[in-house]
Amino acid sequence: MARNFHKSLDWEKEEIEVAKYYLRVLSDIRYFLDDQFGTERASDMSWTWMGGIEITDATKQEYLTIRKFLTEVHGLKKLDKSSTEYGLQLKGRFGDNTHLKRRSTTYLNIKFKWGLPDSCEVVYIQKERAVDDTNYFVDSDGQIRERYHETQVNCDKPVLESVFADG
């Protein structure tokens, strides 16, 4: 089995390069976490998968340290915020294309997660909207409508500030 890869296996060869990129970057991040916070804390707070890493219940200082590292070393630009009845998430992605021939960019995902702070209140709002014939009811005007619930998180401060205040 000492043969070279067959020349028609371009897609497969590129998938190997993508996997190598994931392993290289995720290893870089995990070594950084180990160095900054210790192996035990790094293992408790992080979980990796082939396409990214999730950081759970980081303190404010840990979050700022990790965010700075990802921004300066790996080019993370923006995190999108999502608040639900289960907690707060900040999600983003960063990538590279220097190892690819066919694909434009390989992205890794980063997700920071915290539980919902005690100072926040969860409000469930029942709403209605026009829909198709699944999960529907007919209103007084004969319109087919759907009932759904929207969750709203109300905090006395910005949610991220509330997360760190409770910690």
Please indicate, yes or no, whether residues 93 and 111 belong to a single structural domain of this protein. Answer: yes
Structure token digits, residue 150: 């929207």
User: Which tokens in the block code for residue 36?
Assistant: 């900054």
Q: 115 is written with which tokens?
A: 């539980």
Residue 24 lies in a domain: yes
Strands 80-84 and 137-138: unpaired
pLDDT at 102: 67
pTM of the model: 0.75
pLDDT at 90: 92
- Which pLDDT value is given to residue 101? 67
- 104, 140: one domain: no
Range of the domain at 146: 120-155
Residue 160 lies in a domain: no
In the chain, the number of structural domains is 2
pLDDT for the residue numbered 30: 97
Instruction: Please report, in tens digits, the pLDDT of each residue of the chain (167 residues total).
Output: 557 888 888 888 888 888 888 899 999 999 999 999 999 999 999 999 888 999 999 999 999 999 999 999 988 999 998 888 888 899 998 887 666 666 667 888 999 999 988 888 888 888 776 666 666 677 788 777 777 778 888 888 887 888 888 55
Nearest Cα to Cα of residue 94 among 66, 56, 114: 66
* Closest C-alpha among 13, 12, 43, 29 to residue 108: 29
In this prediction, residue 107 carries a pLDDT of 86
